[in-house]
Amino acid sequence: MLLKKKLVLNAILNNAQEITYLIQCYIAFYYASTIANNTDTGMQFVTNGPDIPEELLQMHEEGRLVFFCGAGISYPAGLPGFKELVDKIYEFANIRPDPIEQAAYDQNQFDATLNFLENRLQGQRQGLEMRKVLEKVLQPRLRRKGAMDIHTALLQLAHDRKGSLRLVTTNFDRIFEKVAKRIKQTINSFAAPMLPIPKDSRWNGLVYLHGLLPDRPNDDALQRLIVTSGDFGLAYLTERWAARFVSELFRNYVVCFVGYSINDPVMRYMMDALAADRMLGEATPQAYALSDCESEQEESKTNEWKAKGVMPILYDSTDSHAVLRNTLNVWADTYRDGILGKERIVIEHAIAHPSASTQQDDFVGRMLWALSHESGLPAKCFAEFNPVPSIEWLKVFSEDRYRHSDLDRFGILPHPRIDEKLHFSFIRRPAPYTRAPYMSLTPEIVDTRWDDVMYQLARWLVRHLNDPELIIWLAKRGGQLHDQWSRLIKKELDRYTKLERDGKTDELEDIRKNAGNAIPQTSMRILWRLLLTNRVKSWGNDWKFYSWKERLQRDGLTATLRFDLRELLSPKVMLKRPSRWGEDNDVAESPQRLKQLVDWELVLTTDHVHSVLEDIAQVECWNEVLPKLFGDFQQLLSDALDLLRELGEADDFKDRSFWDLPSISRHWQNRGYHEWVTLIELLRDAWLATSEIDHNKATWIARD
């Protein structure tokens, strides 16, 4: 008979495992696309700590994150997990499991084990012997070092900015109550089955989802504890009050599990209840779990959690989960201090070199998280920090590390359909609707208005005007300046000029003391003048000359076509990083000549001029319009030579045209490597065309 019962039990357990496996497969399939596209960046609060997804941090700041606490948070207080709890109950009761209980125990069905035990002891819980033993087992040792640290941090994190508390635990212990009393904080508590509706306006308190141990003898309270498989069946399957709470919670909030293991029976019941809702078409936000993980098991652990529809946040569990405890403590302190907490992160890492950031100590992630605060105050702290933070941070700010899931962090409501191609950086990102220009047939503005963060980062960069790296960075991105940034730079250049003119050497030295590259030398000022006057080569003009040729064929030379030609052939400067091969170290470290700061080349606004001109020469009216364009070509060539003079490569007696265009007439040595000399060739052709129709005028022009 006993053997028959054991076989029946094993069959039930095996079927339960098979059903659970099928549900987990469904969850994994249901969430496959969401998880595959979740490339959210993370924030590491402590060295070697877990990377908290920035989406999770954003949800927390908005009061939409709920921590769901399991037995693991009470380990520091000496309380057991579910398996250890069963062991201690048998130990305190001074009995051994019978074969049926042992079979359930061997299958890790600890809730079923206690159900069998309770029935064996007193038959349908008469006398409450097993539960009274349970009450004795769950007595925390609060004098242990760090016994209440995690609870204290979670209680801090669970309060939103308005002071409302939203926290859920499946533990029976009263440690949260002890913490609240110690910090003199009054909290509302809801013990099963009397649960609130988990919505913003109706919930302010701590929910004991599976019941709460009474602070004084109370048999009714012990009976309401959800501890056996029978209790779970009532709560999640028959009466479903726990399942309804969990479903509503997951529908309205982002949930982060803390203190649960992957095979925790509590997780199984909750996730099975959610799977049932999802099969009915219910959509819920992504759930997360802070989970311990041993070295080299990250991939398998991640896959196991994902199979349950949960995104794991893994951490090293050595040293009694110290990393988790420290992470929650620092997170809670930072959250408590608000903007001051983020400014503290900025102050701590502002003078560090980003290249020193590692996977174990990702202080770059902490900085980016702190700097992104919408108030701009942490960014202001960064911009004004002394000594000025290194220009190396610009590389970090320019990396396209953000994806679709990061939009909400920057105040942008993301589209439900995930845009896998979306990549953006900290200083090149989509604008929220309050800062985006209007779509209009007659646009009133061109530049998107900055938010406070972008403005402060521009102020920081203005303290690096003497650093060629900033010029090169701008050149690589088209050499165009936002109007607001142009005004900032002009203001600073004017300030330095005035201080120098007025002999304010003390103020100038004070500026250099805190920002050695703030005051640009003469050659750097030349480069900034070129940028501010739109004389640096930009993108987007590659094929406009072809369109100009087609319009010439269609309409002939018009005034507007003439104006466009001036713009297309306007001389510009292309900037790039210099090559310093063969130079001595002293010169390389402290360059004075402009060519030592940046490499440059004189070019034209549009590209492919040589090839297009060959086609234009075949246009029937070209020879007729050339004489009319002589003055334009002459002015453009004069502008090009003035630019060379500004760059130190030309004066009243010499220029570099001889090298770039060896022959004034058509010759094989004119290879067309330097397109700016096309202006010389065009001027030549215009003069020759003039000479054919009016030799006297051409002679007068040549003599003038």
pLDDT interval class at 31 (50, 70, 90): very low
For the segment 400-447, what is each residue's pLDDT rounded down to a tens digit?
A: 999 998 888 888 888 888 888 999 999 999 998 888 888 888 766 567
- Shared-domain flag, residues 314 and 345: no
Burial of 124 (0-12, 13-18, 19+ CB in 10 A): exposed
Average pLDDT, the chain: 85
pLDDT interval class at 277 (50, 70, 90): low
For range 3-9, the mean pLDDT: 37
- Shared-domain flag, residues 196 and 318: yes
pLDDT at 378 over 50: yes
Q: Supply the pLDDT for residue 639.
A: 95
Q: Supply the pLDDT for residue 524.
A: 94
Q: Supply the pLDDT for residue 27.
A: 40
- Shared-domain flag, residues 342 and 362: yes
Would 228 be classed as within a structural domain?
yes
Q: Which of 422, 456, 490 is the last residue of a domain?
A: 456
pLDDT at 17 over 60: no
> Do residues 235 and 210 touch, judged by C-beta distance below 8 A?
yes
Would 91 be classed as within a structural domain?
no
- Shared-domain flag, residues 279 and 328: yes
Number of domains making up the chain: 3
Q: By mean pLDDT, which of 374-378, 554-558, 559-563, 585-589 is the weakest?
A: 585-589
Q: Supply the pLDDT for residue 662.
A: 64
pLDDT interval class at 38 (50, 70, 90): very low
- Shared-domain flag, residues 559 and 666: yes
pLDDT interval class at 695 (50, 70, 90): confident
Q: Supply the pLDDT for residue 33.
A: 38
Q: By mean pLDDT, which of 189-193, 212-216, 445-449, 547-551 is the weakest?
A: 445-449
Q: Which of 315, 335, 355 is the last residue of a domain?
A: 335
Element (H, E) at 100: helix 99-106
**Closest by Cα among 395, 405, 449, 403 to 424:** 403
Would 320 be classed as within a structural domain?
yes
Q: Supply the pLDDT for residue 470.
A: 95
Would 474 be classed as within a structural domain?
no
- Shared-domain flag, residues 189 and 298: yes
Backbone angles phi, psi at 204, to 5 degrees: -150, 90
What percent of the chain shows pLDDT beyond 70? 88
For range 240-256, the mean pLDDT: 91
Would 316 be classed as within a structural domain?
yes
Q: Supply the pLDDT for residue 571.
A: 95
Would 485 be classed as within a structural domain?
no
- Whole-structure pTM value: 0.81
Q: Supply the pLDDT for residue 7.
A: 34
Alpha-carbon distance of 400 to 283, in angstroms, equals 30
The verdict on whether omega for the bond into residue 387 sits within 30 degrees of 0, i.e. cis, is yes
CA dihedral defined by 132, 135, 137, 142, rounded to 10 degrees?
Answer: -160
Q: Supply the pLDDT for residue 127.
A: 46
- Shared-domain flag, residues 262 and 388: no
pLDDT at 14 over 70: no
pLDDT at 9 over 70: no
pLDDT interval class at 219 (50, 70, 90): confident
- Shared-domain flag, residues 167 and 29: yes
**Closest by Cα among 19, 13, 1 to 102:** 13
Q: Supply the pLDDT for residue 545.
A: 84
- Shared-domain flag, residues 237 and 269: yes
For the segment 308-330, what is each residue's pLDDT rounded down to a tens digit?
A: 889 999 998 887 789 999 999 99
Residues ≥6 apart with Cβ < 8 Å to 283: 251
- Shared-domain flag, residues 302 and 411: no
**Quick check: helix, strand or coil at residue 316?**
coil
- Shared-domain flag, residues 53 and 41: yes
Q: By mean pLDDT, which of 79-93, 497-511, 581-595 is the weakest?
A: 581-595
pLDDT at 604 over 70: yes
- Shared-domain flag, residues 330 and 352: no
Q: Supply the pLDDT for residue 541.
A: 61
pLDDT at 34 over 60: no
Would 62 be classed as within a structural domain?
yes
DSSP letter at 159 equals B
Would 549 be classed as within a structural domain?
yes
Q: Supply the pLDDT for residue 25.
A: 41
Q: What CATH number corresponds to the domain at position 266?
A: 3.40.50.1220
Q: Supply the pLDDT for residue 123.
A: 54
Range of the domain at 272: 2-78+145-335
